[in-house]
Amino acid sequence: MEENKDKEHVEIYSKRVKAGKRTYFFDIKSTRSNDYYLTITESKKRFKDDGFFYEKHKIFLYKEDFGKFLEALQQTIDHVKTELLPDVDFDKFNQPAEEENTASGDTELKWE
């Protein structure tokens, strides 16, 4: 039974986006019937008295909704850029992943 449960939601593709204190995961998964869907997960590290935990919020997006979702997201972003914050240079936020650490002030050398 447990074996079938794992096969029910097989991960096909994953993309991680680090964004400050948050990390977003875009995961494509498949069902038993070889249908595909996207999960978008926001993960935030939260601290407690005895350590930390990750708070997660997840959205399931099905193929029949991809177009509507993408269109609404683009319209919403365009509204913010043109109507609410027309003077902001949004291109300055589009840094390659390698530059994220230095942009946040973290210039310490890290050995892998």
Q: What is the CATH number of the domain that holds 41?
A: 3.10.450.700
Q: With 70 as the cut, is the pLDDT of residue 25 above it?
A: yes
The reply to whether 112 falls in a domain is no
- pLDDT at 4 > cutoff 50: no
Give pLDDT, residue 103.
42
Nearest to 96 by CA among 17, 35, 39: 17
pLDDT value for 1: 41
109 falls within a domain: no
Cα separations in angstroms, 30 against 23, 38, 61, 73, 106: 22, 9, 12, 24, 38
Return all residues near 40 (Cβ < 8 A) that are at least 6 apart: 24, 25, 26, 58, 59, 61
Task: Mention every residue, 6+ apart, whose C-beta is less than 8 A from residue 98.
Answer: none
Strands in 51-62's sheet, in edge-to-edge order, are 10-19, 22-30, 36-48, 51-62
Give residue for tokens 């509204």: 79
Token representation of residue 1: 């039974």
Evaluate whether residue 90 is within a structural domain: yes
pLDDT reading at 27 higher than 80 = yes
Confidence of residue 48 (pLDDT cuts 50, 70, 90): confident
Question: Per-residue pLDDT tens for 67-86?
Answer: 999 999 999 999 999 999 99
Structurally, the chain folds into a number of domains equal to 1
